[in-house]
Structure 1
Amino acid sequence: MPQLTSAQARERFARARLARLATVGAEDRPHLVPVVFALTGDTVVTAVDHKPKRTTRLRRLDNIRAHPAVCLLVDDYDENWDHLWWARGDGTARVLPPADESALSSEYIRLLVDTYPAQYGDRPPRGPVVEVTVGRWSGWRAI
């Protein structure tokens, strides 16, 4: 089973449109959510946007504040299993204030808008921003 190099894993990650963010919550229990993201260098950013949520106090944000070690996973499934692959970024996350309160967050929101113009062009995320500094890229491919 071929492992991806760090560079190959990062390259495949960069081409993905959706990732899954894993955090550690209360009682050391895992919590997993899908996120859209932008990548700059070895930093992955995502933000709380306008999609409906049950609450504005998101568990992922509380989890990151308590346990900043996170994992992000992207993958490609195909019925032809020779085409399967996944790429993962393990890193340290921090919650930043919304863009109207932070120049860095504003820069990250611009990256998200550039990455998802149809979704964010007229309605950029206005909530907190999550910055993940990836320390390790890894991955696997079937062939």
Structure 2
Amino acid sequence: MILPTRICRARFAAADRAVLATTGSDLRPHLVPVTFTLTDDVVVVAVDHKPKTTRNLRRLRNLTENPKATLLVDHYSPDWTHLWWIRADCTAAVVPTHPTDGLAAKYPQYAETSPAGPFIVAHVDHWTGWSAS
């Protein structure tokens, strides 16, 4: 069953993580799990303190080349009557700084070590959602 936008927003906001999909000028899809906050139709994703080999991340380079992105959250269950997914098609930008209060409220790890950035600010252009029941 197709879900209305208000249900899409609510389920998306309640999710612990999303998968961010980007493509650069090479048009190769790049997917990575991310933590995020949602306020109205704006998703904020931080580049945080978790170990990374570089801060020059492909997701950031891709968004500089192509600002279109998609975020996906889903719920899987062996009981397929409980399956659902929400997709947020976005236009995103990479910004050097952003308030982190929302991230710290959602993720206790960010209250201990605030993300230094950069940040992805994604404006949702379209919500799509589906649920088995």
TM-score range, shorter chain: over 0.9
How far did 1:26 drift?
4.2
SS of alignment partner, residue 72 of structure 1:
strand
Gaps of 5+ in 1: 99-104
Offset from partner CA, 1:40-64 (integer Å, 9 cap, x none): 1100001110001121110000000
Moved over 3 A (4+): none
Residue equivalent to 1:133? 123
User: Amino acid of the residue matched to residue 75 of structure 2?
Assistant: D
Q: CA deviation at 1:25?
A: 2.3
- Structure 2 unaligned blocks of 5 or more: none
**1:88-125: per-residue Cα shift (whole Å, max 9, x none)?**
11010000013xxxxxx1x2x11111111x21111010
Q: Percent identity?
A: 50
* Alpha carbons 2:83, 2:132 under 8 Å: kept: yes
Q: Quote the RMSD (CA, aligned, Å).
A: 0.9
CA distance in 1, matches of 2:13, 2:112: 24
* Aligned residue number for residue 7 of structure 1: 6
Work out the CA distance in 2 between the residues paired with 1:42 and 1:33: 21
1:79 paired to 2:69: no
Q: Distance in 2 between matches of 1:139 and 1:48?
A: 27
Query: Given that residues 86 and 140 in structure 1 are in contact (C-alpha distance below 8 angstroms), is that contact kept between their aligned partners in structure 2?
Result: yes
Which residue in 1 is equivalent to 2:31? Answer: 32
Structure with greater helix percent: 1
Q: CA deviation at 1:6?
A: 1.4
Tell me the CA shift for residue 7 of structure 1: 1.4
TM-score normalised over the length of structure 2: 0.96
Report the residue type matching 1:136 in the other structure: H
Q: Is the 8 A contact 1:26 1:63 kept in 2?
A: yes
| Residues 1:45 and 2:36 aligned together | no
Give TM-score, length-normalised by structure 1. 0.90
- Contact (CA 8 Å) 1:24, 1:70: kept in 2 or not? yes
